[in-house]
């Protein structure tokens, strides 16, 4: 499982001109699910995301997590995080999980986050979306679950 994590002042997702989700201070997560990912990877990723210390304390040090600051989370499915661009000019997405299974695991991951963070929103799975954000920092982190999660 892969995620691009952005600390944001606010973020929102639009689909077909309709606002689908909006958060204020918190994290915007773009999440890709690999073809071999399981609930173990989702569990690891959820725990890591909510405990990652990327919010500043009173001294300006990155000592607080999204949970510590009462932040919100917006999760957007992003299979393109599994793009392989080594050969040719068109990315291959053969390492991404097929859509039906990916949606189930994405929903599981979302539920895991909901249990840990007060307000969690999501984009529309398998839809063309417009994502608007104000990056705070900017702080952008790429995170990948370890292979040791896989059984």
pLDDT value for 99: 96
Catalytic residue annotation: 78-80
Provide the whole-model pTM: 0.94
How big is the chain, counted in residues?
A: 151
Closest among 30, 114, 137, 116 to 68, alpha carbons compared: 116
Q: Per residue of the chain (151 residues), what is the pLDDT tens digit?
A: 999 999 999 999 999 999 999 999 999 999 999 999 999 999 999 999 999 999 999 999 999 999 999 999 999 999 999 999 999 999 999 999 999 999 999 999 999 999 999 899 999 999 999 999 999 999 999 999 997 665 4
Residue 148: count of CB within 10 angstroms of its CB: 8
d(CA 72, CA 9): 10
pLDDT value for 149: 66
The CATH number of 2-145, from 3.50.80.10, 1.10.260.40, 1.10.3720.10, 3.40.50.2020, is 3.50.80.10
């Amino acid at each position: 499982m892969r995620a691009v994590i952005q600390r944001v002042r606010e973020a929102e997702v639009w689909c077909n001109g309709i606002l689908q989700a909006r958060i204020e201070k918190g994290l915007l997560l773009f999440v890709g699910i690999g073809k071999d990912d399981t609930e173990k990877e989702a569990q690891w990723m959820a725990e890591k995301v909510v405990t990652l210390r990327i919010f500043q304390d009173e001294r300006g040090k990155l000592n607080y997590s999204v949970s510590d600051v009462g932040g919100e989370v917006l999760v957007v499915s992003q299979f393109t995080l599994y793009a392989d661009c080594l050969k040719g000019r068109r990315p291959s997405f053969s390492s991404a999980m097929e859509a039906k299974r990916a949606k189930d695991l994405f929903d599981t991951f979302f539920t895991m986050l909901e249990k840990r963070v007060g307000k969690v929103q999501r984009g529309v799975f398998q839809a063309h979306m417009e994502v608007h954000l104000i990056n705070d920092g900017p702080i952008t982190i790429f995170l990948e679950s370890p292979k040791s999660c896989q059984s």
